[in-house]
Amino acid sequence: MSIPSSFVRPTTRPDEIHRLLTDVERYNPSNTVLLEDYLARQCANPDSTSNHDLMANLALLKLYQFNPEMLDHDVIRRILAKALISAIPADFNLCLYLLTDEVCKDASIAKLLALRESLERAQFVKFWRDMYDPEDEEEESVVDGIAGFDNGLRKLILAEITATYQKIPLASVQDMVNLDEEAVLRLAKENGWAVDGPVISLPAKSEVKASVISENVKFEQLTKMLSAANDI
């Protein structure tokens, strides 16, 4: 099964950035601006399949790690917010490893960590509640400036739901993706789900049934034995 990978060069990565990532130039502090600009472009692009370049963002975090005087909390916030809606769940932690306790104390970043925790535990209802907490005193949201954040996130949540459920109450889906009934019904139509009154039936991705895992021996694995047989 092929999967989206964070480590393959995305088609949207310019040559200039690619050269920088594969060279010792990645340590040159004067390239910070280049990578920050590139991040801004990633954030402005709402298409969640082509707008995330983890490797470039990790390189930027590394430059901050080496040159703490250049560190910009708002850039880190945006990198983490992008990783939050990445289709690959491991991306977020890979970014975190390059930070420090100090950085995580920043209010926006701390909030993103808490949001991530709800997401990881599939507590989607809690996630939306915290995300748009009316009592939050901060004027700006922690995901400001990330185009298509909500929809990117909904996609991820829907993927989790379809992987687990075959039948689910309409109301549950509404809560989990934070949309009203009308919008969910529209989603159902787009994805071809059957809606039967208050229940949504999802097409089974793979049927759940008992199976026998049999081993898979490739011809190449037997070359040693076969060449020995040739000697006889």
Partner 1 sequence: MYQETYDDEEFVGNIDVVADSYANADEIEDAGDIDDEELLMQAQAGVQSIPEQVRTFLGYLHRNLQSGKVNDLTYNYEMQFPRLSEKYYAKASWPEPQYVAALVNDDGLFLILYRELYYRHIYSRLHPSLEIRFRSFENYCDLFNHILNSDGPTDLELPNQWLWDIVDEFIYQFQSFCTHRSRLNKRSEEEIALLKENSQVWSTYSVLNVLYSLIQKSNITEQLRAQQQGGDAAQVAGEFGGRLLYKMLGYFSIVGLVRVHCMLGDYTLALQTLENVELGNSRALYTRVMACHVSVYYYVGFAYLMMGRYADATQAFVHILTFVSRTKQYHQRQQVDAASKKAEQMYALLAIAVSLSPVRVDENIHAYLREKYADQQHRIQRGGEDALDVISELYLFACPKFITPNPPNYEAEVVEPQAYQLRTFLREARLQLVVPTLRSFLKLYTTMGVDRLSGFLEMEPAELKNQLMVYKQRCRQVKWDGGSDLLSGELVPSTDLDFALEMDMIFIAESRVGRRYADWFIRNANKVQDLVVVLENRQKDTIAGKPKVDAVAA
Considering the rule CB under 8 A, would residue 30 count as an interface residue with partner 1? Answer: no
**Structure tokens belonging to residue 209:** 């049934």
Considering the rule CB under 8 A, would residue 168 count as an interface residue with partner 1? Answer: yes
How far, in Å, are 1, 220, 222, 228 from residue 217 at the CA level? 18, 8, 8, 18
Residue 53 near residue 38 (C-beta atoms within 8 A): yes
Q: Is 196 left (phi over 0), alpha (psi -120 to 50) or beta?
A: beta
Q: Which amino acid is at 126?
A: K
Beta strand 194-196 with 199-201: parallel, antiparallel or unpaired? antiparallel
Distance of alpha carbon 106 from alpha carbon 102, whole angstroms = 8
In this chain, which stretch among 128-136, 147-155, 186-194, 203-211 interacts with partner 1, using CB under 8 A?
203-211
Exactly one of 2, 11, 30, 227 binds partner 1 (CB under 8 A); that residue is 2
Question: Minimum CB separation from partner 1 for residue 203, in Å?
Answer: 12
Q: Which amino acid is at 106?
A: D
Q: Of the two residues 192 and 212, which places its CB atom closer to partner 1 in the complex?
A: 212
Exactly one of 24, 182, 196, 227 binds partner 1 (CB under 8 A); that residue is 24
In this chain, which stretch among 77-85, 133-141, 182-190, 223-231 interacts with partner 1, using CB under 8 A?
223-231
| 94-122-148-31 Cα dihedral, nearest 10 degrees | -10
Considering the rule CB under 8 A, would residue 110 count as an interface residue with partner 1? Answer: no
Sorted by sequence, the CB contacts under 8 Å of residue 89 that are 6+ apart come out as: 120
Question: Minimum CB separation from partner 1 for residue 139, in Å?
Answer: 29
Query: Residues, the chain, total?
Result: 232
Q: Of the two residues 192 and 210, which places its CB atom closer to partner 1 in the complex?
A: 210
Considering the rule CB under 8 A, would residue 131 count as an interface residue with partner 1? Answer: no
Q: Of the two residues 166 and 191, which places its CB atom closer to partner 1 in the complex?
A: 166
Nearest Cα residue to 87 out of 112, 127, 118, 50:
50
Site for partner 1 in 51-80 (CB under 8 A): 54-55, 58, 62, 65-66, 68
DSSP 3-state of 149: helix
Contacting residues toward partner 1, per CB under 8 A? 1-3, 5, 7-8, 24, 27, 54-55, 58, 62, 65-66, 68, 89-90, 93-94, 96-98, 100-102, 117, 120-124, 160-161, 163-169, 199, 204, 208-215, 217, 222, 225, 228-229, 232
